[in-house]
Amino acid sequence: MQVPFHRPSISADEIRAVTDVLAAGWLTAGRKTAEFETAFADFVGAPHAVAVNSATSALHLALVAAGVGRDDEVLVPAMTFASTAGVVRYLGARPVFVDIERDTHLMDAGKLEERITDRTRAIIPVHYGGQPCDMDAICGIARSRGLHVVEDAAHSLPARYRGRPIGSVGDYTCFSFYATKTITTGEGGMVCTVDGKGAARIRRLRTHGIDRDAWSRLESSRFWQYDVTELGYKYNTTDIAAAMGIEQLKRAESMREARQRIAERYDAAFRGVQGLDLYVVRPGRESAWHLYPLRIDPEGLTIGRDRFIEELEGRGVGVSVHFIPLYEFTYYRGLGYDGAGCDGCRWVFERTLSLPIWPDMGDGEIDHVAGSVLDIVKRYRK
């Protein structure tokens, strides 16, 4: 049996919605994009939602709106996707790597204070795998030190922190609709914020710094007239993507429930098995279950993580690794980063892999993945 690492869940509704947009003829950001933003803001309980073409664009513009500039410092977890720190570099600012907790793989709030200097401007907590970070601690530190919190919520739609949906917690929250994420529009992203001024600025910056987008100009008399008020980017989404997003959003909760069920089935299969170490979700946090991270115990097995992945692939199971710590990359090494103080990252990286967890997985597929893991453990146990 072959089980791919991911397969997006696309229903007839998404296909019809996209076809309708193609037939109607307005393809770029327009009425559907506005409708998607309203529905999204409503869904996460945020006053403002601005649609862009990726979470990377969302993070970039949120940092601009938060006032991050040249030579500022921004705290990011050392184990995240490249874009979390890359956007900081776009602004000529310096990402400062913070270690992660071993059981949750989340930014260690207890190690934040020691990384703060008088140049620190913002913190980017990453809700790894869909589990919200310790937002009480992070927001508390940010408030007392006058820092902005820009959440990388690329994994965490829908997720809740102490009952509050992610999207209504920090200053800025950035979501991804990349092909493998919990809802997808092929490529896409969203910034949610409580700050009306920030939202308006992000709206301008996503289309070249133009004061009105093509859609709203169309409804005014001098539709051809506009001003460029500052240098912006080409980060807008399309109505094709938005139409798909509206339909995916309606299914976001049921797809989350399907993923949670898979996680529970894996947990039940792996709990107490010598050689495996279960990922922890803390009380008060509802994960979106974008990932199912599994840690192997290299001391309990005769093979390491890399070999474990090969064995899974040999049994037809698609696997991935989230993430290679940023200080391992040539670019960051070239900037002088060496992973000092990131023992948690190193520990997690050498023993972690991600198993398939997509909503349309059948019981046979789930059991094949779980059975393959147990089979490998049995074969290579010390």
Ligand X SMILES: *Cc1c(COP(=O)(O)O)cnc(C)c1O
- List residues binding ligand X (CB under 6 A): 54-56, 80-81, 83-84, 126, 152, 154-155, 176, 178, 189
- DSSP bridge partners of 164: 161
Q: Rounded to whole angstroms, what are the CA distances from 372 to 250, 270, 278?
A: 34, 11, 16
**CA pair distance 199, 330, nearest whole angstrom:** 35
Give me the phi and psi of 220, to 5 degrees please: -100, 165
Residues with Cβ within 8 Å of 248's Cβ and at least 6 positions away in sequence, in order, are 14, 177, 183, 184, 185
CB closer to ligand X, 53 vs 372: 53
CB closer to ligand X, 83 vs 207: 83
Minimum separation from the CB atom of position 127 to ligand X (A): 8
- Give me the half-sphere count of Cα atoms (radius 13 Å) on the Cβ side of residue 204: 16
Minimum separation from the CB atom of position 132 to ligand X (A): 13
CB closer to ligand X, 133 vs 370: 133
Q: Which helix (H) or strand (E) holds 284?
A: none
CB closer to ligand X, 188 vs 359: 188
Residues with Cβ within 8 Å of 62's Cβ and at least 6 positions away in sequence, in order, are 150, 172, 174, 191, 193, 198, 202
Catalytic residues: 181
Best CA proximity match to 167, nearest among 24, 19, 41, 319: 41
Peptide bond just before 95 cis, omega within 30 deg: no
Minimum separation from the CB atom of position 128 to ligand X (A): 7
Minimum separation from the CB atom of position 294 to ligand X (A): 18
3-state secondary structure of 340: coil
Minimum separation from the CB atom of position 235 to ligand X (A): 10
> 53 in the Ramachandran plot: left (φ > 0), alpha (ψ -120 to 50) or beta?
alpha
Minimum separation from the CB atom of position 36 to ligand X (A): 15
Strand order in 172-176's β-sheet?
Answer: 48-52, 189-193, 172-176, 148-152, 120-123, 73-77, 94-98
CB closer to ligand X, 290 vs 368: 290
CB closer to ligand X, 174 vs 210: 174
Minimum separation from the CB atom of position 244 to ligand X (A): 14
CB closer to ligand X, 50 vs 301: 50
Q: Quick one: DSSP state of residue 290?
A: S
Q: For helices 239-250 and 31-44, what crossing angle results, to 10°?
A: 30
**CA pair distance 81, 152, nearest whole angstrom:** 10
